[in-house]
Structure 1
């Protein structure tokens, strides 16, 4: 292994760049639907050895080393994000005649931008690089910090943070309840990089021992938390929820005329299906994001038709487009929203999506892009308008659900204090835009982790999948795979599994980052003393 490490460190030029891109791309195999965890060990072991090749050498200038470490991280990130996000281009093919030209921007442009974050991570790690186990602590702290920044800057896009690749099963998901996804990413990079120490020998005993302790703690805490029972039940009596997965092709939803009415009727037909023998009828029916393919309040008879299908006391919670009229001569505002509708056809609760998807639901710097002839993927005059803050969907029975509309489920630090009062999380989405690609499975995992972090049941309704009811341990109680048309009927008691709150998770994360940087700093100082 030492010989292999030396060969990697000594690579130069196009071979070095190619291996950096390949290392990043290999790492993406750890993401759903492949979940091949070993790929990340290969990926980060190669990255450490490549970083060793950028290490300080006699005669090399500081700026040259900075450029080298930044470029290395950018190439690694470019490979990782192209391999992990290529499926975004599928959304542009729904209306290929209008948006196919933008495929290179989606498949290569966005990864090129996101790779800048990983370039910053390796540059920062390079400032504290040493020849012992401290260098993998530097890499871990830098990646953890940069992943946190990626979830924050420019409205944030923490999709496929490194930590998601090391949580394929529930026992490996529980640590996120204590340190959050960015804390898991930090520890993951340390452990994933540890095999590199075998090839360079220095610091291997301590580094590998620490990595082993982290793995043991990760599994140990996972086993402990899975053994914990719910401490509260917020639905008394329990309610039966039906999740409708209609599998409607996105092109049909965007057509005008009779096909939209047919889409509406398909949702109603699944809503009206009788329960399985021996089970209760649903109290609440969930439709996915933008399931109603027209403005519900502007379509005569639509609410009455819903009332015809719902039985007395049943409530429909549906993803809709809400229109808000403005003054004369002004375009109305449109919101990506959720309505709760009772069996009389009355809207009894509503909430709007707060964190909109850039270029999908709104255009950043809209005037600039419009001058270039570029518009939103979702055809809505002026795009969607963001809601002011997420509001609990509270039903007449007193049951409350915390809404996460589509993209909002990927932001772990945006759940407000209201989530602590909810009986369950409710995530509705429409991943039909992306077809049968890794996208819907990656989205599902990220939503699933929000259940683990909060300890709340997650009800997930997706147009084409993956729909599921997930408990506060991240375990799937009932589910429908992608492109599987049907319904899920599940009885909920509003169980709450013990979990740290968001402030505790953030505190633990920052303590972890500081500790890793201290280890890296002490190791770096020791190297300088030896060199002097």
Structure 2
């Protein structure tokens, strides 16, 4: 058997890396959707035409390197923040993470060769791609960043329509549909007709769901999101921390005044982002009293570090009307290589490590309503953002994306909040130190936004939740089942055509 590939050796590897990087252009915030089917088709044909399964696996690996390195390029910015300490890591930041994830792309490239060419092979590729991509939650503490389904999170009304099927399928189900559609576009005229028909049905389903987007009752509190815009190097060094604390207090006072001018007696909640308080809030009673005085007795949800019995936590703490800590949420999913060091690394590269909290909670207080608190990274986990024993009425995530600079990273992060809103049928509030902060309603429609590198406040009502969506009830079992079905369908025997004489 000889390879049908037009290039070999390093040229083939380079072609796959370029195809993977091209496919990454379809991700937020660029949304060059045409790049997705083109890039996937290059990988698919390379896997088909490879001389052996090993060559197909290498094609998938190099495609994954290109895709994830381009999609996660902004990780380098986090190293540049402490470049004087970790200058040697700069060339390896994004490629290093890609190196861990890229082997997963090799598997669908190999598995699609198990079945005959045609629609069976497309189904095998799409089903195995989705199943294996979903396994990224099992790598260290999980890293399901940039699933292909996020390509549909386009800005504005068109994006609102396109993401509505996530209320049934979840973002991984969107990934499955996109891979199927992208490859069937190159499978003949009849397949193209079916794809176009499917797109029309998809758009129709989205518009039908949004047609029920009447004025949702406001049962949740009014939020004052404070975006202090403190540079990351100053957060790390605690330089000018008194000035930063005063800045957050002044912005909070401005926001509370604006919130009261909106009228009615709705509870008002002030929200400071991750690292919003420059110290240990639970150990600083004077600072808490100043916060309570500034809010006029309204509750404040504050991002702060926390130390307990020698263990350090990344926390969200609730300060009540008299300056006491009424509730604490400790981040439970930590960022690998950022907040903890996986044991496979034989030497220490982190200045300190954090301890994970016990898991998701729902806070239920009259002053804040029933809210599901999260910190930063936790919002990216589809199907794992809600305490299933006590469903909240709204979700709050606080973050500090100053690490990643004015790049795709903060925009991709914000987009995950929109997808979680659609999946769960819950409004999402996203508070970020340097931006981007925003509020989404339960349909994933953007209510307000405060852009990158702005020092300001956002004041917004938080709309009502919807009834639990199908995805909220069954979770990732839906895209898992559909992907397994695709794989099983790929093994259906060919129909035998009898001849008459």
Tell me whether the two structures share a fold, i.e. TM-score over 0.5: yes
Whether 1:220 aligns to 2:204 is yes
Query: What TM-score, normalized to structure 1?
Result: 0.86
Aligned-residue Cα RMSD (Å) equals 2.5
Gapped regions of structure 2 (runs ≥ 5): none
- Partner of residue 411, structure 2: 441
- Cα deviation for residue 147 of structure 1 reads 1.0
Looking at structure 1, the residues matched to 208 and 379 of structure 2 have their Cα atoms a distance apart, in angstroms, of 26
- Of residues 250, 253, 257 in structure 1, which corresponds to 2:235? 253
Please name the residue that 1:358 is paired with: 336
Structure 2 distance, partners of 1:137, 1:206, is: 16
Alpha-carbon contact 2:62-2:102 (below 8 Å) kept: yes
Against the structure 1 CA distance between its residues 367 and 444, is the aligned structure 2 distance closer, same or farther, given a 3 Å change threshold?
closer
Q: Secondary structure at the match of 1:193?
A: helix
Instruction: Report what 1:137 is aligned to.
Output: 123
Do residues 39 (structure 1) and 39 (structure 2) align? no
- More off after superposition, 12-21 vs 350-359: 12-21
Find the partner of 1:279 among 262, 268, 276. 262
Deviation at 1:483, TM superposition (A): 1.3
Find the aligned partners of 1:317 and 1:394 in 2 and give their Cα distance: 13
Q: Provide closer, same or farther for how the CA distance between residues 402 and 269 of structure 1 changes in structure 2, counting only shifts above 3 A.
A: same
Matches within 5 A, 1:518-529: 518-522=488-492
Residue 114 (1) aligns with residue 92 (2)? no
Q: Which residue number corresponds to residue 434 of structure 2?
A: 464
Is 1:183 matched with 2:173?
A: yes
Q: What pairs with 1:117-516 in structure 2 (closer than 5 Å)?
A: 117-128=104-115, 130-168=116-154, 169-197=159-187, 204-229=188-213, 235=219, 238-256=220-238, 259-273=240-254, 274-275=257-258, 278-280=261-263, 283-299=268-284, 301-312=286-297, 314-325=298-309, 332-365=310-343, 368-370=346-348, 374-375=349-350, 379-380=351-352, 383-397=353-367, 399-418=369-388, 421-496=391-466, 499-516=469-486
- Identify unmatched segments of 5+ residues in structure 1: 1-6, 55-59, 198-203, 326-331
Q: Does 1:93 align with 2:80?
A: yes
Q: Residue 472 of structure 1 contacts residue 497 of structure 1 at CA under 8 Å; is this kept in 2?
A: no
Query: Does the aligned pair in 2 maintain the 1:284–1:315 contact within 8 Å?
Result: yes
Asked if structure 2 preserves the Cα contact closer than 8 Å seen for 1:229 and 1:497, the reply is no
Secondary structure at the residue paired with 1:223? helix
1:212-246 CA distance string (max 9 Å, x none):
343233212211221224798582xx532111111
Question: Structure 1's 193 and 420: CA in aligned 2 closer, same or farther, altered over 3 A?
Answer: farther
**Change in CA separation of 1:152 and 1:174 when aligned onto 2, cut-off 3 Å:** farther
Pair 366,116 (structure 1): closer, same or farther in 2 beyond 3 Å: closer
Greater Cα offset, 387-396 or 20-29: 387-396
Aligned length: 487
Cα offset for 1:492? 2.5
Give the equivalent residue in structure 2 for 1:201. Answer: none
**CA offsets 1:273-324 (integer angstroms, 9 cap, x no match):** 0317951497111110121111123336211221231213x11111111111
Residues 379, 397 of structure 2: 8 Å contact kept: yes
SS of the residue 2:469 aligns to = coil
Is residue 126–residue 180 contact of structure 2 (8 Å, CA) maintained in 1? Answer: yes
